[in-house]
């Protein structure tokens, strides 16, 4: 069971959204981890003229520090529900902010890896492993954009799915009151 509060209807959407944000965060951080590990340990061994070998290791260290600091918080936010009376702390809002921070950090990692490849290693072409990890990162950003656009649409039109049901309930309630008035007037 990923979310302990999945049976409650008010928790279901928040658990699903928090789990989706956690998945996006893990994909983004994982793609950055693949790119930094490859650059630090395997890619620079092909170049004998590398003067700044510490650069690849420092990028990896910064990314690992960020990854380890967020991993605990993401797991706690995604898996443990907050009390229902504490509605001001919405899980999906917190997870969306964390997801935005991870997106910015991973973009900074890929930017520094590009700088490392072009300046320190003097390469004209981009590393193919880093390019594949960057493609996975772009797919995760596309998923994040789709979720954020859907959430924005929910803010603009909060009752768009329930409008037909509300109209039917209002019509039924109006017809019930008209029927009650007719019976009261005839009696």
| pLDDT classification of 54: cutoffs 50, 70, 90 | confident
Residue boundaries of the structural domains of the chain: 9-156, 160-187
- Please state, rounded to an integer, the average pLDDT across all residues of the chain: 68
CB-hemisphere CA count at 13 Å for 171? 6
Write down the pLDDT at residue 165.
46
For residues 106 and 119, give the distance between their C-alpha atoms in angstroms, rounded to a whole number.
Answer: 20
Write down the pLDDT at residue 4.
44
Instruction: Give one DSSP letter per residue of 152-172, joined into a string.
Output: HHHHHSTTTTTHHHHHHHHHH
Of the ranges 67-81, 107-121, 149-163, which one carries the lowest mean pLDDT score? 149-163
For the stretch 37-49, pLDDT in tens is 887 777 666 555 5
Write down the pLDDT at residue 156.
54
- How many DSSP H helices and E strands does the chain contain? 5, 0
Instruction: Assess whether pLDDT exceeds 60 at residue 118.
Output: yes
| pLDDT classification of 89: cutoffs 50, 70, 90 | low
For residues 95 and 16, give the distance between their C-alpha atoms in angstroms, rounded to a whole number.
Answer: 11
- First and final C-alpha spacing in the chain: 59
Q: Which of 37-41, 61-65, 84-88, 116-120 reaches the highest mean pLDDT?
A: 61-65
């Amino acid at each position: 069971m990923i979310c302990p509060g999945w049976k409650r209807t008010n928790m279901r959407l928040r658990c699903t959204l928090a789990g989706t944000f956690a998945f996006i965060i893990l994909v983004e951080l994982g793609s950055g981890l693949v790119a930094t590990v490859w650059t630090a340990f395997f890619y620079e061994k092909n170049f004998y003229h590398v003067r700044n070998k510490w650069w690849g290791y420092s990028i990896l260290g910064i990314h690992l520090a960020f990854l380890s600091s967020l991993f605990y918080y993401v797991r706690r936010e995604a898996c443990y529900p907050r009390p229902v009376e504490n509605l001001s702390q919405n899980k999906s809002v917190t997870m969306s902010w964390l997801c935005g921070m991870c997106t910015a950090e991973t973009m900074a990692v890929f930017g520094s890896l590009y700088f490392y490849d072009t300046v320190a290693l003097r390469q004209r072409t981009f590393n193919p492993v880093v390019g594949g990890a960057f493609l996975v990162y772009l797919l995760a950003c596309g998923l994040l954009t789709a979720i954020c656009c859907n959430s924005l649409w929910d803010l603009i039109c909060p009752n768009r799915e329930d409008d037909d049901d509300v109209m039917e309930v209002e019509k039924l309630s109006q017809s019930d009151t008209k029927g009650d008035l007719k019976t009261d007037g005839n009696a």
